[in-house]
Structure 1
Amino acid sequence: MNGDLRVVVVGSGRVGLRVTRLLDARGHDVVMVERNPDRVERVLDAYVATVIEGDATHPSVLEQVDLDRADVVATMTDTMGTNLSVALLTRRLAPDVRTVMRVVDGNIEEYEDYADALVFPERAGATAAINAVLGGDVRTVENLPGELEIIEMTVTEGAPVAGKTLQEVSLPRGSLVVSGAAGHAVAASDTRLEPGHGYLVAVENQVADEVTRLFRG
């Protein structure tokens, strides 16, 4: 799944808000559904998502996000019943929309048939949720302290960096190509960014979207 996505995130707790911030930093259009008025205000103050106040387990609330335009619904609350209900409701209302469900109790195998992708952030952090939401050829390999991330990116045909060496590419300040995805060697000025090949890139949060566009077009 490539390009800018319209992602509906249900729940603005620790995991939901972190996922939303990361998606927003990469240029994706995020709609948050949250039933707690105080949390709604917190998300609005952060300017990271359009916010709909309400209970997403109610069809009338979930329909407000305009599911026909959504690419992914990621239900990230800390209540298993809510997450399961939203995933099933999304499949009923919009079968073509990808569903990503947070598993709270760790019994991932039990829920495999009820969403397209499952995450257990208590074990893997928001990184697993981001990878499940985005899929495709941009994958967060590591969440480091602060706002720095290491991302595995595959260069597409026609991307601004395709076929060029790092010496010929002007990457934004706050980003660094570390190595090819296989990790056989540290990248150097003569490392060529070949279409179809993956590379590990360290990025600061504020330039993640710009770097992604350079690699993906």
Structure 2
Amino acid sequence: MQFVIIGAGRVGLRTARVLRDEGHEITLVERDEQRIKRAQHQDFPVIEGDGSREPVLEEAGVMDADAVGALTSDLNVNFTACMIGNHYGCRTVMRIDEAYREGIYRKYADQVDEIIYPERLGAIGAKNALLGGTIRAIADIAPSLQVVELTITEAAPVNGYTLSELQLPANATVLAFGKNNSPLEIPTEDSSLEDGDRLVVLADFDVLSEVRQLLVGETPMQAAANAGSGSSSVSTDRDTNSDTGGVN
């Protein structure tokens, strides 16, 4: 997949690294000279300019991108970049600082695909937001263990089961469960699994493909190919420094 990320500060650059490690193509947009050099030193293509300007995003390849991640600390730049990305049919992910009032959050949330708080989520949250879909890597907690959130699909073999009937591989266990559009909570045995419900699972990498087949309905070939792409490094960064890619 192809991504345009506006802002090469800590959030943007770490998100770009996580995505590139999974085989995706990344183009960064940044105005700060030092950040441009840092990103280029890590072999990222960087377009110098204001990420809220359409010609700059066009130069970065927004016409062919799958998603735009507006990850600067400037809300106006981020929102404008997302509107441009939406115009070109991209998935749009906008960074917003936790300090903003809930009313402002709701105003923008209706107009972009996903809003993230990098102070809470770090690069892994931004990456998941950009990818979208039914599988979200939450954390690698050991060299062979990963926590993932999976969304039950209509094609899942376990659709219609209760949690007591669910039989995961030996090296996988359910940590949390959430009905469609409801918060995650501690699972109960009589909870039913239906299209759109979410399960948070701790699993060994060796059984991730089997878990994906059961809960998402991927074919064995798809699950084997995709199991590795759910991997991402634990990110505990707290982006307290200002990221101003795209603005002075």
Shorter-chain TM range is 0.5 to 0.7
Aligned to 2:229: 212
Equivalence map 1:116-155=2 (5 Å) = 116-142=113-139, 150-152=146-148
TM-score, normalisation: structure 1 = 0.67
In terms of Rg, which structure is larger?
Answer: 2
**Is structure 2 residue 50 aligned with structure 1 residue 55?**
yes
Deviates more, 1:49-58 or 1:72-81: 49-58
The yes-or-no answer on 1:66 pairing with 2:61 is yes
Aligned in 2, Cα 1:50/1:179: closer, same or farther, shift over 3 Å?
Answer: same
C-alpha contact (below 8 Å) 1:152/1:198 kept by paired residues: no
Q: Considering only aligned residues, what root-mean-square deviation do their CA atoms show, in Å?
A: 3.6
In the TM superposition, residue 138 of structure 1 has moved relative to its aligned partner by 3.6
Match of 1:7 in 2: 3
Match for residue 112 of structure 1 among 95, 109, 112: 109
- What amino acid maps onto 1:116 in structure 2? D
Corresponding residue for 2:41? 45
TM-score, normalised relative to structure 2: 0.59
Once the two structures are TM-superposed, the CA of residue 212 in structure 1 deviates from its matched residue by 2.4
Number of the residue aligned with 1:31: 27
**Unpaired runs of 5+ in structure 1?**
155-176, 200-208
Structure with more relative contact order (C-alpha pairs < 8 Å, separation 6 or more):
2
Compute the displacement of 1:42 (Å).
0.2
The one-letter code matched in structure 2 to 1:30 is I
**Closer, same or farther in 2 for the Cα pair 1:86/1:178, shift >3 Å?**
farther
**Displacement, 1:121?**
1.1
Q: Do the aligned residues in 1 keep the contact of 2:144 with 2:204 (CA within 8 Å)?
A: no
Could you tell me whether the CA contact under 8 Å between 2:15 and 2:123 is conserved in 1?
yes
Per-residue CA deviations over 1:80-133 (Å, capped at 9, x if unaligned) read 1111111122223x1x11111111244432311221111111122222211111
Seq. identity, %: 29
Preserved contact between residue 93 and residue 115 of structure 2 (Cα < 8 Å): yes
